[in-house]
Amino acid sequence: IITKSKEFEPVPYFFKRSYPNWELSEETWEKDRIVYTRHQIRTPAKTLQEVIAVPDTDHGTAGVSASVREYLIKDESDIEAFIKYVPDIDKDTLAHMKEFCEWSHRVIGDKGIAAPWMWGGVYNKATELRDIQELMVDPYDDPELYEAFMGKILELQLKMNTEFAKLNGMALSMQGNIANAGMVSKSFFDEYIL
């Protein structure tokens, strides 16, 4: 048995609570059987906002992947605010990860392994925060800012996934499917993603 929980992957810790210089508010509503969630994050530089949506399936929305209706990162000033103010992983998130790993190991026992979903490839995470059409031209418009943005996501990803790997001790599941040959050329991939 391989369990693949999504406890930590779809909603990053920085969309779950406020931090210094990162004040989070969340609003949820339903319209035409679609459940919307708005995250607003006030930083000293500006307010960032995203809206995600999931269909109401009559059985709840747990396990249903959300689609982004409004991306958190819309322009260069949003990228700059994100890089400057997005918080590092905190002790409460680490404690939750530890409790989750202990619980999943007890449940699975010697019948299999826990391979929870974690943040996937850096480009995958970036496309959840910024419209992929914008992301694909960013390295041409402002290569330094693009590199800084991707570098920040990589830094956060490495911290989160490394800590979870230590706590879980079995395996992690990670996706890296967005930057594929249907989307980008080999030269674009090699220069701006790899």
**What CA–CA distance (Å, rounded) separates 78 from 99?**
34
Residue 62 confidence (pLDDT): 59
Percent of the chain's residues with pLDDT above 90: 63
**What CA–CA distance (Å, rounded) separates 56 from 62?**
10
| Side chain identity at residue 4, one-letter code | K
Q: What is the pLDDT of residues 105-147, one digit of tens each?
A: 999 999 999 998 888 788 989 999 999 999 999 999 999 999 9
Q: Which run of H or of E encompasses 34?
A: strand 34-42
Query: Contact, 90 vs 157, CB < 8 A?
Result: no
Tokens of 19: 């931090």
Residue 77 confidence (pLDDT): 97
Residue 59 confidence (pLDDT): 67
| Phi, psi dihedrals of residue 75, rounded to the nearest 5° | -150, 180
| Phi, psi dihedrals of residue 113, rounded to the nearest 5° | -135, 155
Q: Which run of H or of E encompasses 37?
A: strand 34-42
Query: Contact, 181 vs 130, CB < 8 A?
Result: no
**What CA–CA distance (Å, rounded) separates 124 from 126?**
5
Tokens of 132: 């992929």
Query: Contact, 33 vs 21, CB < 8 A?
Result: no
Q: What is the pLDDT of residues 22-55, one digit of tens each?
A: 999 999 999 999 999 999 999 999 999 999 999 9
Query: Contact, 11 vs 72, CB < 8 A?
Result: no
What value does the mean pLDDT take over residues 87-111? 93
End-to-end CA distance of the chain: 32
DSSP string, 109-143: TTS-EE--B----HHHHHHHHB-HHHHHHHHHH-H
Q: Which run of H or of E encompasses 170?
A: none
What value does the mean pLDDT take over residues 61-67? 70
Residue 183 confidence (pLDDT): 80
Alpha helices in the chain (DSSP H): 76-85, 91-108, 122-129, 132-141, 143-168, 186-188
pTM, rounded to two decimals: 0.88
